[in-house]
Amino acid sequence: MARAAAALPARFHDCLELTKPRVTLLVMLTAVAACYVGARGPLGWGFLGELALGTGMLAGGTAALNQLWERRTDALMARTSARPLPAGRLRPPPAALLGGVLALAGFGVLALRVNWLCAGLGLATTGLYLLAYTPMKFHSPLSTLVGAFPGAGPILMGWAAARGRLDADAWILFGIQFLWQFPHFLAIAWLYKEQYERAGIRMLPVVDENGAETSRQVLLYTLALLPVSLLPAITGLTGPAYFAGALALGLGLLWTSARSVREKSRPSYRRLLRASVLYLPLLFGLMALCRVK
């Protein structure tokens, strides 16, 4: 009995790790930020909490099911081999149960406590991620493009929670998150391309021998992100202070991307990864601060 009780914290930690808590937290914050920016009038903390809870459960369940799907390839990569499933600390059946229950419960919270459009968008995001993006990673570098759609899904979920519909501003925010993912994930793929190749995952840097196409896409998507990120100030969603801040953030990310493209080195792509991680929360935080009430 004592041994079983002592094992409970470790088992809880493994279950938590299965939900990719850092990624799930980012998804939750993105949805809540989009809801706050899109809201007309004050929002109750209870409503935002229900949105965060439902989104987090759905995202965590999706992450668990994704790790279940990829457990064999995760075992082949140093960066993922210590995860609970490939390391053997959890078995597939309880992982599948946890993922399924979390995803269904998250959908239920969103449908019953937020609205059906938000819940439907969440379900579509999960479906695209698990049934399109995940298997496609083993067949084509276009998986990054496909994965960018569910990757930006939480933006639409948050906006739908606030307004009950999707309008032009919702798609602008979606475009920001969509475009941001390319420099971010291509930087990750560049840093771990040897591990991806060993696992049979066909990310662009794996099949791009000299890195020319990877560099081109990093630069083009970062260039496209800059004007799109300024649109909330132009459409009146935010005030002029946002325009100045978004311009500074965009130019900083562009400079870092251009440096990565020029150097094509691990340190330069590591800097790009760090810059992209900082860019998104700073941009949406600024947007929330400068929104037009």
Q: Percent of the chain at pLDDT above 90?
A: 87
- Rounded-to-integer distance, Cα 34 and Cα 238, Å: 13
- Rounded-to-integer distance, Cα 109 and Cα 48, Å: 12
Rg (CA), the chain: 20
Q: What is the mean pLDDT of the chain?
A: 93
CB 169 within 8 A of CB 232: yes
- Rounded-to-integer distance, Cα 230 and Cα 224, Å: 11
Indicate the pTM of the whole model.
Answer: 0.93
- Residues 108-132 have pLDDT tens digits of 999 999 999 999 999 999 999 999 9
Residue 238 has pLDDT above 50, yes or no: yes
Q: Is 291 helix (H, G, I), strand (E, B) or coil?
A: strand
Q: Classify burial at 273, counting beta carbons within 10 Å of its beta carbon; exposed 0-12, middle 13-18, buried 19 or more.
A: buried
pLDDT of res. 255: 97
pLDDT of res. 7: 58
Residue 246 has pLDDT above 50, yes or no: yes
CA-CA-CA-CA dihedral for 176, 179, 181, 185, to nearest 10: -160
- DSSP label at residue 164: S
Q: Where are the beta strands (DSSP E) in 101-190?
A: none
- Residues 30-47 have pLDDT tens digits of 999 999 999 987 888 899
Domain positions in the chain: 16-165, 167-293
- Rounded-to-integer distance, Cα 39 and Cα 37, Å: 6
Pick the CATH number of 16-165 from 3.40.50.1220, 2.60.120.10, 3.10.200.10, 1.10.357.140: 1.10.357.140
CB 74 within 8 A of CB 84: no
- Rounded-to-integer distance, Cα 64 and Cα 242, Å: 37
CA-CA-CA-CA dihedral for 81, 87, 90, 91, to nearest 10: 100
Q: Classify burial at 192, counting beta carbons within 10 Å of its beta carbon; exposed 0-12, middle 13-18, buried 19 or more.
A: buried
- Rounded-to-integer distance, Cα 176 and Cα 181, Å: 9
The pair of structure tokens assigned to 120 is: 């439907």
CB 22 within 8 A of CB 43: no
Closest CA to 232 of 241, 222, 224, 221: 241
Q: Classify burial at 45, counting beta carbons within 10 Å of its beta carbon; exposed 0-12, middle 13-18, buried 19 or more.
A: exposed
- Residues 143-177 have pLDDT tens digits of 999 999 999 999 999 999 999 999 999 999 999 99
- b/e code 219-249 from CB counts within 10 Å (16+ = b): bebbeebbebbbbbbeeebbeeebbebbeeb
**Region 225-244 average pLDDT:** 96
Categorize the per-residue pLDDT at 209 as very low, low, confident or very high, splitting at 50, 70 and 90: confident
How far is the CA of 263 from the CAs of 267, 268, 271, 275, in angstroms? 9, 7, 12, 16
